[in-house]
């Protein structure tokens, strides 16, 4: 799949403000500062489609983008640590939970994980919750180009081992670098395949 058209559509502070569920939808989420906006921009070949920031917690709304006038890409607020108040964090959690549980056209959730770090409990707990709710998801390792060659395989294997403590089989895994464009074709091919089931 090639993305020829990617446009910002709307931001929502409540799930019922989201656009009509007329197209298949793919949402991207991860801990604050995981490189989510950079990955979205890389996939869409647009440098400033999603707003990037060095400050964690920049995305605070559910942001919808229309892709090729045929599917939605959604940028969700990060979970876990962010420089926001406890009240705001609760509001983010409620917004994300309600969106994920009630968005009828959500085909798959892309959970982004920083490949440079050991398995984090906040990521593993979030994935476990998605399993409980029956929400289909894949894992996207970001910033893979920042790893030394000796670390690359080890970090992925460590993550798989941590997941297999809780899961009988692993979700699909993508390895990406926003800077180098790695993983772009694989993710877009996956979306194209899932779109055929819409």
> What pLDDT shows up at residue 83?
65
What mean pLDDT is predicted for residues 61-70?
Answer: 95
Neighbour tally for 148: CB within 10 Å: 9
H/E stretch holding 186 reads helix 184-195
> What pLDDT shows up at residue 24?
98
Please provide the average confidence, as pLDDT, over all residues in the chain: 90
> What pLDDT shows up at residue 13?
87
Kindly report, residue by residue over 6-52, the tens digit of the pLDDT. 999 999 988 889 999 999 999 999 998 899 999 999 999 988 888 76
The model's pTM: 0.93
Domain count, the chain: 1
Residue 1 lies in a domain: no
- Nearest to 33, CA basis, from 107, 67, 84: 84
59 pLDDT band (50/70/90 cuts)?
Answer: low
> What pLDDT shows up at residue 52?
62
Q: 143: Cβ–Cβ under 8 A, 6 or more apart, which residues?
A: 35, 114, 115, 116, 177, 178
Strand duo 71-75 + 106-114: pairing: unpaired
Residue 46 lies in a domain: yes
Domain that holds residue 86: 6-195
Residue 138 lies in a domain: yes
- pLDDT exceeds cutoff 80 at 82: no
- Residues 52, 196: Cα–Cα separation, whole Å: 31
Kindly report, residue by residue over 70-80, the tens digit of the pLDDT. 999 999 988 87
Kindly report, residue by residue over 153-192, the tens digit of the pLDDT. 899 999 999 999 989 999 999 999 999 999 999 999 999 9
In 22-164, alpha helices (H): 36-44, 86-102, 121-133, 149-163
> What pLDDT shows up at residue 53?
53
CA angle 190, 76, 181 (to 5 degrees): 45
> What pLDDT shows up at residue 90?
81
What mean pLDDT is predicted for residues 57-82?
Answer: 85
Q: Bigger pLDDT: 66 or 82?
A: 66
Angular region, 82: left φ>0, alpha ψ -120 to 50, beta rest: beta
> What pLDDT shows up at residue 33?
83
CATH code of residue 156: 3.40.50.300
Question: Alpha-carbon torsion 40, 84, 155, 109, what sign?
Answer: negative
């Amino acid at each position: 799949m090639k993305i020829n058209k990617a446009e910002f559509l709307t931001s929502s502070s409540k799930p019922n403000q989201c656009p009509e569920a007329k197209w298949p939808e793919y949402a991207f989420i991860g801990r604050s500062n995981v490189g989510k906006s950079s990955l979205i921009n890389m996939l869409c070949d647009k440098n400033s489609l999603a707003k990037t920031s060095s400050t964690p917690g920049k995305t605070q709304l559910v942001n919808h983008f229309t892709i090729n006038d045929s599917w939605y890409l959604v940028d969700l607020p990060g979970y876990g640590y962010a420089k926001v108040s406890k009240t705001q964090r609760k509001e983010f959690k409620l917004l994300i939970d309600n969106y994920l549980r009630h968005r009828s056209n959500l085909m798959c959730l892309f959970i982004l994980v920083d490949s440079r770090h050991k398995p984090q409990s906040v990521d593993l707990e979030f994935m476990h919750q998605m399993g409980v709710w029956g929400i289909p998801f894949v894992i996207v390792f970001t910033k893979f180009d920042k790893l030394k060659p000796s670390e690359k395989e080890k970090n992925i294997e460590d993550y798989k081992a941590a997941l297999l403590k809780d899961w009988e089989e692993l979700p699909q895994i993508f390895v990406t670098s926003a800077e180098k464009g790695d993983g772009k074709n694989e993710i877009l091919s996956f979306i194209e395949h899932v779109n055929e089931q819409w």
